[in-house]
Amino acid sequence: MKKNECQPLSRFLCVYVNAKNVQENRTLEEFIKIQLEQVPELGTGVGYISLPEEGYHFTKVQFQKFKVGTVLNRKPQTDMTIGELLRKQARFE
């Protein structure tokens, strides 16, 4: 998957948050921060394939800026590696 050599029947496990709610609710903000820190270990523990470290870094940076959105654009992206997809310009809604 990391080298775009196979396309398993899978998808990203996403968490969607409302940026305004996170800014107004410190408990929610801390919950998301903890989740972002622990998800690589917890996910692999139950059989998920982790993103590359770059993916978690990108997500944390975007969260710290309170930027929400997706690079997936509601379509499968089968012609890119995970790293390429994450570096793709995100469209924030």
The whole-model pTM stands at 0.65
Report helix, strand or coil for 70: strand
Q: What are the sequence ranges of the domains in the chain?
A: 24-87
Pick from 78, 84, 76: nearest CA to 54: 84
The dihedral built from the CA positions of residue 59, 63, 66 and 70, taken in this order, carries a sign that is: positive
Each residue's pLDDT tens digit, 20-63: 999 999 999 999 999 888 888 888 888 887 888 888 888 888 88
- The residue type of 55 is G
C-alpha–C-alpha distance, residues 41 and 51, integer Å:
11
Each residue's pLDDT tens digit, 55-91: 888 888 888 888 776 666 666 667 777 777 777 655 5
The number of helices, as runs of H, and strands, as runs of E, in the chain is 4, 0
